[in-house]
Amino acid sequence: MFFTAMDTYVGVWASNLMRVLIVTSLFAALLAFHNAITRYSYALAAEGVLPRRLGHIHPVHKTPSVAGIAQTILAVTVVGAFALFGADPYLHLLLWVNTPGVIGIVVLQALAAFAVLRYFRTHAHLDSVLRSFVAPLVAGVLLTGAAALIVWQIDLLTGAGDTVNWILIALVPVIFILGVGHALQLRRTRPATYAQLATTDVDAENLLSITAN
């Protein structure tokens, strides 16, 4: 629709330029996801949850290179599997793989907002009512509504049938439950590692001392 309108009212050169901008912006977004997963993998490895090898950094550039290579291998494997079955790179690979992530991120943001609300309710503080109660409550409610709206209109996001859509939706609570179960097991069997979660400063200057242990 947008390309046709651009061809009609501006010119073919403009729609071609739009295609280039879409591809480059998509590459930038995927690169951001790649870096985020790499940093999470590195942090969890440095905290002892994932294999320690993923927490090693490049000796010169001080980047989480091992975690980055692992993420690259994972991405190539997923893309290769979709290509092997002849899946459409946009309609199947991009939309289907990203949809659970989109739902999951919004749900996690809603949970984080309610967690902020609970924290201020259970800890002494000097923050205002607006900051400690109103803002996190409004954010949590609106984000919950956004997640429900995404699920309700998921067919507009994926362009897939009911079976595929329900599978994509079901992946979110299944993975969440598995994650919570793993965390509870970790707290029971490795309490020291559990206590260290989210305590590692991955941008600290002593990265070498963290990853060497």
User: How far apart (Å, rounded) are the C-alpha atoms in residues 44 and 36?
Assistant: 12
Number of alpha carbons in the 13 Å side-chain half-sphere of residue 123? 10
Is residue 198 pLDDT above 90, yes or no? no
Is residue 206 pLDDT above 60, yes or no? no
Number of alpha carbons in the 13 Å side-chain half-sphere of residue 77? 6
**pLDDT at res. 210:** 47
- Are 146 and 173 a contacting pair, CB within 8 Å? no
**pLDDT at res. 30:** 86
Strand locations in the chain, DSSP E?
A: none
Residue 61, helix vs strand vs coil: coil
Contacts of 164 (CB under 8 A, 6+ apart): 96, 158
Instruction: Please tell me the pTM assigned to this model.
Output: 0.76
User: How far apart (Å, rounded) are the C-alpha atoms in residues 24 and 66?
Assistant: 26
Is residue 52 pLDDT above 50, yes or no? yes
**Residues 119-171: tens digit of each pLDDT:** 999 998 889 999 999 999 999 999 999 999 999 999 988 888 889 999 999 99
Take residue 167 and report the two structure tokens written for it. Answer: 């599978």
Is residue 96 pLDDT above 80, yes or no? yes
For 168-192, what is the mean pLDDT?
Answer: 94
User: How far apart (Å, rounded) are the C-alpha atoms in residues 120 and 129?
Assistant: 10
Contacts of 66 (CB under 8 A, 6+ apart): 42, 53, 54, 55, 56, 57
- Residue boundaries of the structural domains of the chain: 1-86, 89-213
**pLDDT at res. 26:** 86
